[in-house]
C-alpha cells in the first residue's frame, strides 16, 4: 500500500511550537543579585585579632573535655603558630 502525500493528512501535521526561555520567561534586569552580598546597612562589629583568637583557643582547649573539639582547637592553634614561625616539632 502506497501513501499519497498530496491527499493524505500526514503532510498536514503542524510542527510543535518550541519556545525558548525568552518567550515563556519574563525579562530580568542585567547584573547579578550577588553583588550586594557584602553590603550591610547595620553596624559592623570588630573582628578579633589573631592574638585574641589564639587566647580564646587556649582557654577553650583547657575548658573542654570533648576529644573532637580538642583536636580541632589543637589544629587551629598549630596553624596559627606555623604561620608565625613559632611551631616546633
pLDDT in tens, 34-43: 766 667 677 7
CA dist., res. 73 & res. 60, Å (int)? 8
pTM for the full predicted model = 0.49
What does the pLDDT look like over 6-30, one tens digit per residue? 666 666 666 666 655 555 556 666 6
CA dist., res. 65 & res. 24, Å (int)? 59
Nearest Cα neighbor of 80 from 52, 40, 43 is 52
> How many distinct helices (H) and strands (E) make up the chain?
3, 0
Amino acid at each position: 500500500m502506497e501513501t499519497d502525500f498530496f491527499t493524505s493528512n500526514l503532510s498536514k501535521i503542524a510542527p510543535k511550537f518550541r519556545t525558548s526561555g525568552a518567550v515563556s520567561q519574563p525579562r530580568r534586569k542585567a547584573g547579578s543579585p550577588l553583588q550586594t552580598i557584602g553590603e550591610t546597612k547595620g553596624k559592623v562589629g570588630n573582628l578579633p585579632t589573631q592574638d585574641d583568637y589564639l587566647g580564646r583557643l587556649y582557654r577553650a582547649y583547657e575548658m573542654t573535655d570533648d576529644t573532637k573539639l580538642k583536636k580541632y582547637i589543637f589544629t587551629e592553634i598549630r596553624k596559627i603558630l606555623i604561620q608565625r614561625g613559632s611551631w616546633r616539632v
